């Protein structure tokens, strides 16, 4: 299964007016990184970067002046994602912007059936949270100290690591994790299962004659016989 772990940065929060200004994606094949990636900055036209958005990602209007428009990059984006699942953290936000850009170009939207939201996955797996990307990096021991600003490619790289860990580790497709080049072990969540009580005890399979014969045998072995440790008190005293 081919998946693209991706992220976007935008001029603001309203996909009806704001525009995508950066998109980055990491390709996974059966949950393994292939080394292929996609990263483009995008000129938003007349739409300016909102100061609040600038504080998050640091991408300025000046920096975007000479970048291609979404219309110029649209075919390239579609080609990279073609046949893959779209995987994003809080995918409702990112897909809202991607589909708004497609709509402006009269391109069909991405079907929700092709989208995986890692935020929804995290909330099911860790219902007590927090489940931001930074919090999940801390939970899974992923180094994100170099993430001083949001960036589409960097966030995609971090999310790819988080996603692989969330679905079961680096060999999630097999359910196995290698250790020091040696054996393998299965990865499972710890589950505590209470024992079930029988409605009535099982019928003993030993007859009284069997029990008597066994006790007589233990008595012949002497006091040091290992069996005497497990014999009934009456048998141990007889030995």
CA distance 80 to 112: 18
Tens of pLDDT along 198-234?
667 766 777 788 778 877 777 777 776 666 666 555 4
Residue 97 above 90 pLDDT?
yes
* Residue 150 a catalytic site member: yes
Helix (H, G, I), strand (E, B) or coil at 2: strand
Q: What are phi and psi of 215, to 5 degrees?
A: -65, -40
- pLDDT at site 96: 98
Helix axes 91-104, 70-81, angle to 10 degrees: 120
Name all domains of the chain by residue range, CATH numbers in brackets. Answer: 2-175 (3.30.420.10), 208-238 (no CATH)
Q: Are 117 and 139 contacting, i.e. CB atoms less than 8 angstroms apart?
A: no
Q: Which two tokens stand for residue 117?
A: 């939201």
User: What percent of the chain lies above the pLDDT cut of 70?
Assistant: 78
CA distance 28 to 234: 68
Q: Is 88 exposed, middle or buried (0-12, 13-18, 19+ CB in 10 A)?
A: buried
Tens of pLDDT along 177-208?
333 433 333 333 444 445 556 667 766 777 78
- Out of 31, 57, 89, 150, the active site residue is 150
Query: Residue 117's closest CA among 38, 2, 6?
Result: 6
Tens of pLDDT along 138-165?
999 999 888 877 889 999 999 999 999 9
Pairing relationship of beta strands 115-117 and 20-29 according to DSSP bridges: unpaired
In sequence order, what are the residues at sequence separation of 6 or more whose Cβ sits closer than 8 angstroms to the Cβ of residue 137? 143, 144, 158, 161, 162
Q: Which two tokens stand for residue 180?
A: 């020091």
Q: Is the pTM of this model over 0.95?
A: no
Q: Is 166 left (phi over 0), alpha (psi -120 to 50) or beta?
A: alpha
Please give the average per-residue pLDDT across 83-108, as a whole number. 97
């Amino acid at each position: 299964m081919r998946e693209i772990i991706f992220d976007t940065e935008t001029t603001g929060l309203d996909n009806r007016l704001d525009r995508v200004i950066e998109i980055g994606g990491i390709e996974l094949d059966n949950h393994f990184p292939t080394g292929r990636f996609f990263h483009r900055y995008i000129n938003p036209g007349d739409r300016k970067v909102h100061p609040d958005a600038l504080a998050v990602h640091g991408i300025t209007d000046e920096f975007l002046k000479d970048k291609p428009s979404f219309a110029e990059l649209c075919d390239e984006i579609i080609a990279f994602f073609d046949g893959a699942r779209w995987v994003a953290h809080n995918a409702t936000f990112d897909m809202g912007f991607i589909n708004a850009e497609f709509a402006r170009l009269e391109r069909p939207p991405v079907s929700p059936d092709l989208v995986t939201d890692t935020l929804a996955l995290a909330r099911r797996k860790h219902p007590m949270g927090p489940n931001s990307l930074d919090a999940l990096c801390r939970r899974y021991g992923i180094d994100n100290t170099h993430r001083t600003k949001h960036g589409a490619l960097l966030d995609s790289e971090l999310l790819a690591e988080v996603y692989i860990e969330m679905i079961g580790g680096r060999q999630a497709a097999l359910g196995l994790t290698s250790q020091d080049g040696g054996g393998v072990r299965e990865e499972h969540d710890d589950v505590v299962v209470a024992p079930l009580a029988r409605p009535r005890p099982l019928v003993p399979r030993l007859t009284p004659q069997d029990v008597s014969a066994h006790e007589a045998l233990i008595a012949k072995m002497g006091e040091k016989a290992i069996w005497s440790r497990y014999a009934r008190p009456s048998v141990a005293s007889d030995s």
